């Protein structure tokens, strides 16, 4: 899968970057990234480590395409899988990376979602006050 992703990057990303915003090639790049994320999502419950690896590769593609939104989503989805695996430290790390990228992309709903996700981590690790604070911070953005 890694070879396929990188081959697609080499073929598509340079054209997308050269053609500017909204070009058909750039739209194809975002469609490719979205399709790969859908494929990784399908693996989350049956092969979570494979899904994580795919999200990492897809994140590299999104970074090459300067797509902070999709790059942030790959970190967000990795964080969710790590959370489900009980690896809260890794989940926190990837949520923090997603938060930074969502802020840079101006994706407020994504920012709110990450605050809620980090709140869940804090809840599961016993930091109840911080969990509540983060929940309210996320809810404020949702309003």
CA-to-CA separations, 62 to 32, 74, 101, 125, in angstroms, rounded: 10, 9, 11, 31
Mean pLDDT throughout 87-98?
Answer: 98
Task: Report pLDDT digits (tens) over 7-60.
Answer: 344 334 343 444 345 544 467 889 999 999 999 999 999 999 999 999 999 999
Contacts for 128 with CB less than 8 Å, ≥ 6 apart: 122
**How many alpha carbons lie under 13 Å from residue 44 in its C-beta half-sphere?**
19
pLDDT: which is higher, 118 or 11: 118
Residues 132-141 have a mean pLDDT of 97
């Amino acid at each position: 899968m890694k070879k396929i992703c990188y081959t697609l990057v080499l073929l598509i990303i340079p054209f997308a970057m050269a053609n500017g915003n909204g070009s058909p090639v750039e739209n194809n790049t975002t469609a490719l990234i979205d399709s790969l994320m859908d494929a990784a999502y399908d693996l989350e419950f049956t092969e979570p480590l494979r899904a994580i690896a795919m999200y990492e590769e897809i994140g590299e593609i999104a970074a090459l395409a300067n797509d902070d939104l999709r790059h942030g989503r790959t970190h967000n989805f990795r964080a969710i899988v790590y959370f489900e695996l009980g690896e809260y430290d890794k989940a926190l790390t990837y949520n923090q990376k997603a938060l930074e990228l969502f802020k840079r992309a101006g994706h407020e709903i994504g920012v709110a979602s990450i605050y809620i996700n980090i709140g869940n981590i804090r809840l599961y690790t016993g930091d109840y006050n911080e969990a509540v604070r983060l929940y309210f911070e996320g809810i404020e953005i949702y309003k």
